[in-house]
A and B are shown apart, each in its own frame.
Chain A
Amino acid sequence: MTTTLPRTDVVIVGFGWTGAIMAQELTDAGLNVLAIERGAWRDAATDFAPTFAQDELRYYWRHELFQRLAHDTITVRNTRGQTALPMRRLGSFLLGSGVGGAGVHWNGQVWRFLPSDLQARSHNAGRYGAAALPSDMTIQDYPVTYDELEPYYDKFEYLCGVSGKAGNLKGALQPGGDPFEGWRSREYPNPPLDMPYAPTLFAKAAGELGKHPFPHPAANMSRAYTNPLGVTLGPCTYCGFCEKYGCGNSSKASAQTTILPVLMKKPNFTLMTETEVLKVNLAGDGKTVTGVTYLDPSGQEVEQPADMVLLCSYITNNVRLMLLSGIGKPYDPVSGEGQIGRNYAYQITSSVNVFYDKEILNPFVGAGALGMIINDYNGDNFDHGGLGFIGGGYVGVLQTGARPIETHLAPQGSPAWGADWKAAIARNYLRSTTVSTHGAVMSHRGNYLDLDPTYRDVLGRPLLRMTFDYTDNEHRMSDHLTDRATEIARAMGGREIKVNRRVGSWDVVPYQTTHNTGGAIMGSSPSNSAVNRYLQSWDTPNLFVIGANAFPQNAGFNPTGTLAALAYHAADAIKREYLKAPGQPMVRT
């Protein structure tokens, strides 16, 4: 028995960063918005209060804030020749769940993509020749430019109170900032965080090698900050439980700490939690969506009609809901046809540990985006001629807090247990740090998302299947970054280093990054994308698919700044254009 409710203007599926942004913007436009979140309500004071937030076992290793895979997971394989098997435990990435989504346990790393990142195909083909791009590399230009997105990057940074130092103000390079970044219309809202010792050792060595270190832009507050919505965040206390944890102190930007105190009071907004959308409903002609069907907390199926539907959950769930709902044409990696599931991408990481004899680094002091970075090897900031790859990544020392189950470094050749291990970690814990690399992954024909033919979630629906591996491009790029990181690490003056390359196929077990992208990408026409430049579905124009699913390929930066900018860009277009002619495509082809 399905109950049908009265129509509403907008249904938002998933209530993390993009859900909260879109709800705030569209309620401002006077629309009645219902957001549906399958996880629970949660806020700092209740769910990760400072009195118990510093709990490594509970929050990270027992996954308190993450998606419960018992409810649903994805299946994974490296190639089409393998049988995909369920990701039974979380590992490589930490899917979010609950109000605030993965934006509760993120680090607060707020980046803008480089202008050239947004024109990955035309820029690289132009500089290195079309032959430099392998035939199975399916990268394409974003259908928006950096200049178009700049106001929306700025808006998100001011919402979050990002702590940082501009490197390029309207074209004028600024000392102390990133000289490679795209232009900014104004300085960051807050100055950089105080810098602990290890990042300064990295910055000194990198600077002496002619690189350009600067403070990582951080949605961790360097001072108390009141954002444009009137919501105040407190200064960060560098407790070191930030990445993978919720901030008990309202010092890390999240939907809870920037938008919800305003949004939740609006009479034209409603949030339903612990309520799972089963599918987006299509009209009989398949050309519009009519709303959603959800399962309420008592187990009842309910149909909620709506004029507009916005998919705002994580990319894996946005793409899966489209496939389960029959929206668009599923991607076929053999023919290359179909758009839903195409161009899934990820990121590739590596690291170099540095061990000192005397320098006490106190690595437990930390914040999620606290550190010094260079972008000399990111994107196309360096000449790739003869290197055999495109793309790049950042290199730096991020001091996020060395929680000891996860981080107890020991030098090359140390055992993993026993008396010698004990002696090694006792000697090195306070005197070690890590230079990290964080590299792009381009899109490739064989990396994609579809529905698994075998495995089901607890409700009986097919799981999403992820077919993904790194290609030569990624391994060459990551090795290049690792070599550069090694050069800097050697110059940092430690006793010894340990190099941790990324080798072999993508492995679902070790944590890497929660930066999954693609699957419902944006593009210039229905023949190369699922959504247009306003994240509006080409197939059903009253459906918008918001998030990193829209990235045609990934860049060497954390995705949240860009996906939030794309959300604001879409919201602006909906308010200015779409509402004048609801249901019509905003891009004509």
Chain B
Amino acid sequence: MALRAPGFGVGTMAINGLSRRGLLSAGVVVGAIPLAPAGAETFHRPPDIPWRPDAAASPTVPKRGDDFLYFTAVEQAFVQAAVERMIPNDALGPGGVEAGVPIFIDRQLAGAFGAASDWYMQGPWAKGETTQGWQSRMTPAQLYRAAIAAIDDAVQRTSSTTFAMLPAADQIAFLKRLEAGTASLSGGIDPAGFFKVLLQNVMEGYFADPLYGGNRDMAGWKLIGFPGARYDQRAYVTTYGKAYPLPPVGILGRPGWRGTEG
């Protein structure tokens, strides 16, 4: 989106979250789509220096609301149940479901993370050593789909129902078997590998800035006392032992601020 005429210096920028660097890094540029004419925004020589007025690479806010974009109804039921067991709603405060963690994960899987668009996903594929890290050919979105189906399949074999319909104690026991890697899943799904991804995404959904759809009402931050996206903490560096006095705030503000959802 051109903000000024191309020339030396920078004439374009990302204002819709689709940055040119993302395209370059994804390799789209090579012999395919010219991102910019040679010698345009990427060529910096005085007097055209590339500081850009009136421009900011602000974060991409995912779709608001409670309608799922990626998860099917069956998958939603699994994720809601698993998240409730992993971060339960209790006397300490809202759990992961109330904090919007399932919607957070859904939005992540519907976006660049779900597609593994930043990861190296070329073959050949091998299992490798644990010290060599993630070697699955599946993207996170594919992994969730396959793993949830395999989990419900495993529950069906032993209990003739789905994970979401199990009693809470049985759900917890099953999650522990996933975590320990002792659950037997069809389709070659590594139970502990999937659980690690799920746990990480649950933590992200509970503690990330609310703009990404989770951590609603800053429930995760309030639980622990994290004050959020604050910019200046100079007054609180040497207040040894004293409680921090300010409420948490997100990048988009907080409820009651400018009518944001928080």
Contacts and interface: CB of A to CB of B under 8 A. Distances in A.
Interface of A: 38-43, 45-58, 61-63, 67-73, 76-78, 82-89, 91, 97-98, 194-197, 200, 235, 237-240, 248-249, 264-267, 269-275, 295-300, 358-360, 362, 364-365, 402, 404-405, 408, 416-419, 422-423, 425-426, 429-430, 454-456, 458-459, 504-509
B31 interface: yes
Interface stretch (B49-57, B73-81, B146-154): B49-57
A238 B86 contact: no
A194 B34 contact: no
Interface residues of B, number: 97
Q: Which of A83, A84, A87, A405 counts the most B-chain CB atoms under 10 A from its CB?
A: A405
B226 A365 contact: no
Contacts of A271: 43-45
Contact of B21 (A39, A78, A83): A39
Contacts of B208: 56-57, 61, 405
Contacts of A364: 226-227, 233, 244
A299 B44 contact: no
Contacts of B240: 196-197, 200
Given A57-B208, A426-B224, A239 B43 contact: no
A88 B121 contact: yes
Given A404-B226, A417-B87, A417-B199, A70 B119 contact: yes
B207 A56 contact: yes
A429 B120 contact: no
Given A40-B20, A89-B119, A237 B231 contact: yes
B2 interface: no
Main secondary structure of the interface of B (DSSP, over half): loop
B167 interface: no
Of all A-B residue pairs in the complex, the 10 with the closest CB atoms, nearest first, are A68-B25, A458-B27, A429-B224, A40-B21, A54-B229, A57-B208, A404-B207, A298-B34, A417-B86, A237-B232
A270 B45 contact: yes
Contacts of A505: 129, 131
B69 interface: no
B172 interface: yes
Nearest to B45: A270
B221 to A, nearest CB: 7
A274 B224 contact: no
A417 B179 CA distance: 10
B203 to A, nearest CB: 5
A436 to B, nearest CB: 19
Q: Which of A40, A51, A200 counts the most B-chain CB atoms under 10 A from its CB?
A: A40
Contacts of A43: 50-52
Nearest to B244: A362
Contacts of B134: 88-89, 509
Given A55-B251, A408-B224, A299 B90 contact: no
A364 B49 CA distance: 36
Contacts of A40: 19-21, 24
Contact of B133 (A46, A54, A58, A89): A89
